Copies of this chain bind each other. A is one copy, B any other.
Amino acid sequence: LSYKVSIIGAGNVGSFLGLSLMKAGLDIVQVYSRSLGPAKMLASSCGAEAVQELHTLKKNSDLYIIAIPDDEIRGITSEMIDFKGTVVHTSGSVSIDVFRGRAEKFGVFYPLQTFGETKQKKPEQIPFCLEASDRETRKLLEETAGMISKNIYFLDSEQRKAAHLAAVFASNFTNLLYGFSEELLKDSGLSFDLVRPLIEQSAFKVRVSSPENVQTGPASRGDISTMKAHLELLKNKPELFEIYTKFSKLLAKKYTGKDVEL
**Cβ 8 A contact of A170, one of B121, B122, B198:** B198
**What mask results when residues 180 to 208 of chain A are scored 1 for a CB within 8 Å of chain B, else 0?**
11101101111011111111111111110
* Contact A171-B195, Cβ < 8 Å, known A69-B223, A176-B247: yes
* Contact A155-B190, Cβ < 8 Å, known A168-B217, A198-B167, A199-B174: yes
Interface hits, A129-172 → B, CB 8 Å = 129, 151, 153, 155, 158-159, 161-172
Asked if B201 and A114 make an inter-chain contact with CB atoms under 8 angstroms apart, the answer reads yes
Q: Is A117 among interface residues, defined by CB-CB distance under 8 A?
A: yes
Copies in the complex: 2
How many angstroms between the C-alpha atoms of A233 and B167 in the bound complex? Answer: 14
Contacting residues, chain B, for A226 (C-beta < 8 A): 70, 93, 164
Which residue on B lies nearest to A120, using beta carbons? B201
Q: How far is the CB of A80 from chain B (nearest CB, A)?
A: 22
By size class, the interface of chain A is 35 or more
Q: Is A209 among interface residues, defined by CB-CB distance under 8 A?
A: yes
Q: Is A212 among interface residues, defined by CB-CB distance under 8 A?
A: yes
* Contact A166-B184, Cβ < 8 Å, known A114-B201, A207-B196: yes
Q: Is A178 among interface residues, defined by CB-CB distance under 8 A?
A: yes
Q: Is A60 among interface residues, defined by CB-CB distance under 8 A?
A: no
How many angstroms between the C-alpha atoms of A44 and B221 in the bound complex? Answer: 27
Given contact pairs A153-B194, A167-B217, A175-B214, enumerate 7 new A-B contacts (beta carbons under 8 Å): A121-B204, A159-B190, A169-B180, A172-B247, A176-B211, A181-B211, A196-B207
